[in-house]
Amino acid sequence: MSKTYFAIVFMFFAFYLVAGCTEIPDPVTPSYETTLDASEDRNSAFEPFFPIHYQTYLQNEDDSQMTEYGGSVPHEKHLCGDLPRAYKYCQPYLKNLWLGYPFSFEYNRARGHTYAVHDVLDIDRINRYSEQAGLPSTCWNCKSNKVPGYVEKYGDDFWAMEFHQFREEHDMDDHTIGCNICHEPETMDLRITSVPLRDAFEKIGIDLDNATRNEMRSYVCAQCHVEYYFQDPKFGAAAKPVFPWTQGYNPPETYEYYKSFGSTTREGFEGWFIDWTHPVSDTPMIKAQHPEFEMWQDGTHGAAGVSCADCHMPYVRLDGKKKISSHRWTSPLKHIEQSCLQCHSDKQPDYLKERVIYSQERTWEQLMIAQELSVKAHEAVRLASEYRGFKRADFDELMIQARERIRKGQWYWDWVSAENSAGFHNPSKAIDTLASSQQYSQQAVNLAMKATNYGIAPDLEGDIYEVVPPIEEHSRKLQMSQEHLDTHQWFQYLPKFEEADLVWDLNKRVSN
């Protein structure tokens, strides 16, 4: 077969401009005939057919530019200071809040899709010092083009398989998030390959076969840019990714959801789902993961039907002839003209940028307060549980309630913290969620104080940064050192790891 394909009339672009913003048009989806195999998973195989698209795809490699709050320089998010390692907008307590959970070892700002395989192989969250990754193959789901093939081969057994065993099969460029994840290789029709998104939509009655083109322009992103968890084997295939949407998309509803689907026997939390137990306050916690889709869907733009692709994949003209959808997924503030002015044609780019930053500044301010109160809540419960003075008769009951509020307050904080737009996708929901977080964390502090008849109150007074200093350095390697564990009062609740050498470096074994 010849390498020809039929580029389709880009009539819909003209339609788009005429219709403006009040109605989001739903024109014909372009369709092609490539000669690619239906199971093609290499990005490079698509290049000869779509060289211009591929050129924009390669622009994802540019990780040199930050905007005010977003951008692509992959610094450590808890470190305050200057790029490349730190940034002016940092969250100094991240390692404290995730202590005892792999996120406390390493957590960096996201960059382009072309780095996904590299970055998942290079992260300290997955144990590279051991034959056991400590996290399942589920982690490949949102990084690798090979997942559709793995799911076909291994079915639901795939998720709980050893993460490391698939390292060597991965080419760092060819198998990173790409064409086959969102397109049928033969026709380039948009498609959903993500098992958890298909499952989740089925449960809440969204029929993907009848999704409109405009919906698909967001659903392809909802394959990964969402909150998820790894299934407890009691409820189905072990470690399978699940999106917790059956009661709704928002923080209160997902919080309720996680009161089921677990197998903990902890008093007061029986049957709840837990990601880990925070060792300092001994609290059963849940960790939020980048809920962009959930944040966006009932915000100003989501509710108006403005899709992820409208802003993040604007139409560009590269070869001077036809317009194509840019496949460089990054901050739209780097190209406001293409991303925003198609609808906001009456506004200046600088005005729009200021409006974005206006929301982000306010979100950030409340995010900091929520984070600090969450730390204070852990410390209050720690102090109360070690308190030797007078305790109220209902001490145990109050402490259960305090821990529940820690879990809830941190969940609400994390929802906004993990969401990648610093509030822009839904400014009022971001602020509302942070206000709730602050209230729940403060309730945890109050309950712990009450349990000790306010005996711990003096120890909580003053600047939280002095009461509990932020943990700046921590990693798997450091947790092998007693000297390191002696540097912070909260480390006394961590076990010391055994000395070990690296087993894996990216997709190569470096020791046995």
Q: How far is the CB of 418 from ligand HEC (least distance, A)?
A: 11
Closer residue to ligand HEC in complex, CB, 160/197: 197
User: Under the phi-then-psi rule, with left for phi > 0, alpha for psi from -120 to 50, and beta for the rest, what region is 462?
Assistant: left
Determine contact, residues 27/34, Cβ cutoff 8 Å.
Answer: no
Q: List Cβ neighbours of 381 (8 Å cut-off, separation of 6 or more).
A: 281, 282, 283, 399, 402, 403, 406, 444, 448
Nearer CB in complex with ligand HEC: 348/481:
348
For the CB of residue 150, give the shortest distance to ligand HEC in the complex, in Å: 13
Rule CB under 6 A: is residue 406 a binding residue for ligand HEC? no
Angle at 365 between CA 256 and CA 454, to 5 degrees: 65
Q: What is d(CA 70, CA 286) in angstroms, rounded to the nearest whole number? A: 25
In the complex, minimum distance from the CB of residue 43 to ligand HEC, in angstroms, rounded to a whole number: 5
What's the min distance (Å) between Cβ of 39 and ligand HEC? 15
310 interacts with ligand HEC by CB under 6 A: yes
Calpha distance 266→272 (Å, rounded): 9
- Rounded to 10 degrees, what is the CA torsion of 154, 231, 223, 299? 170
- Binding test (CB under 6 A) with ligand HEC, winner from 94, 126, 306, 377: 306
Q: Is the peptide bond before 314 cis (omega within 30 degrees of 0)?
A: no
Binders of ligand HEC among residues 186 to 225 (CB under 6 A) are: 188, 190, 213, 217-218, 220-221, 223-225
Nearest to 428 by CA among 355, 333, 351, 359: 359
Binding track, positions 15-54, relative to ligand HEC; x by CB under 6 A: ------x-------xx------------x--x---x--xx
Does 471 bind ligand HEC (CB under 6 A)? Our answer is no
Binding region for ligand HEC (CB under 6 A) out of 340-348, 363-371, 380-388, 398-406:
340-348
| Distance in angstroms (rounded) separating the CA atoms of residues 507 and 512 | 14
Which of the residues 101 through 130 are near ligand HEC (CB under 6 A)? 110-113, 115-116, 119
**By rule CB under 6 A, what string of x and - marks binding of each residue 278-297 to ligand HEC?**
--------------xx--x-
Contact at 8 Å (CB) between 10 and 323?
yes
Residue 476: which residues within 8 A CB-CB, separation 6 or more?
105, 124, 127, 128, 129, 497
# residues near ligand HEC by CB under 6 A: 75
Of the candidate residues 262, 284, 291, 427, the single one contacting ligand HEC (CB under 6 A): 427
Cβ-based nearer residue to ligand HEC, 372 or 419: 419
CB 52 within 8 A of CB 320: no
175 vs 312, which CB is nearer to ligand HEC?
312
Q: Does 410 bind ligand HEC (CB under 6 A)?
A: no
d(CA 416, CA 430) in angstroms, rounded, equals 6
